Amino acid sequence: MELGEPSWWQDALVQLNQDELLGPIVKRYPEGGLSGKGNVFSTIIRAIVGQQISVLAADAVWGRLEAFVGRIDPDSISKKTPEELATCGLTRSKASYIHGLARDAERLLTFEWSESSDKEIHAHLTSFRGVGPWTSEMVCIFALLRPDVFSIGDIGLIKAVKILDKSVETNDQVVKTAERWAPYRTAACWFLWRMLDPVPVEY
């Protein structure tokens, strides 16, 4: 599992810089970029925390969760009850999902990530309660550094594409527009999020 800048990042910048729609955004943010931390479990938990709430709200809940349990790992999470986890601002369902993932961490994490296709990874991750397509895609982007992931379930990405291309109205059209950034749609996502928020998105 890669750490730091993805091996494909510079190639992605070369391609995206030349794109009529996204090129100006890439040039606007020459510093920083996607950086892998190699921690699948933490990324899954942070993505679940962020499901269907704002980035600011998610950051606040994440901060309380870290303060409550310490290091975010299966051992520290499983030592708490779902009810205790919920006191950090999590909904009951999210607290239950997170606790369940910690208790089933061996099955979750013992997986051939690098040898598996994106489709196989999504099938594995979404077999766990609380992990839907969006959460799985965040893991593929932020933990596994897969180069060509685009999450149509992400409201921010939909909004950003519609800002860049005024002719886009439907989600199908968003997906079609995003095809122009293949095989580096993951990098495109990073810049699309960045154009909406001065603080880079991170899971």
Q: Where are the domains of the chain?
A: 9-36+149-196, 40-142
Q: What is the pLDDT of residue 147?
A: 98
80-105 average pLDDT score: 98
Measured CA distances, 6 to 141, 179, 186 (Å): 10, 20, 11
Cα 196–Cα 172–Cα 56 angle in degrees, nearest 5: 25
Cβ neighbours of residue 179 under 8 Å, at least 6 residues apart?
A: none
- On the question of pLDDT at 200 being above 90, the answer is no
Dihedral angle computed from the Cα positions of residues 149, 52, 136 and 39, in that order, rounded to the nearest 10 degrees: 100
pLDDT at 90: 97
Q: Which amino acid makes up residue 60? A: A
Q: Give the pLDDT of residue 37.
A: 87
User: Is 154 a residue whose pLDDT tops 80?
Assistant: yes
Using pLDDT thresholds of 50, 70 and 90, give the confidence band for residue 56: confident
Give rounded-to-5 percent helix, strand, coil for the chain: 60, 0, 40
pLDDT at 197: 84
Q: Which residues pair with 36 in a beta bridge?
A: 4
- Asked whether the predicted pLDDT for residue 198 surpasses 80, the reply is no
pLDDT at 159: 97
pLDDT of res. 47:
96
Write down the architecture of domain 9-36+149-196 according to CATH.
Orthogonal Bundle (1.10)
**Could you read off the pLDDT of 2-44 as tens digits, one per residue?**
889 999 999 999 999 999 999 999 999 988 899 998 899 999 9
Note the pTM of the prediction, 2 decimals: 0.94
CA 22 centroid distance within chain: 20
pLDDT score recorded for residue 31: 86
d(CA 5, CA 51): 25
Q: Which of 179, 141, 143, 202 is nearest to 22 (CA)?
A: 179
Instruction: Name which of 93, 94, 39, 85 is nearest 66 in CA terms.
Output: 85
Was domain 40-142 assigned CATH 3.40.50.300? no
Mean pLDDT across 115-119: 97
pLDDT, residue 131, reads: 97
Choose among 135, 131, 185: nearest CA to 157: 185
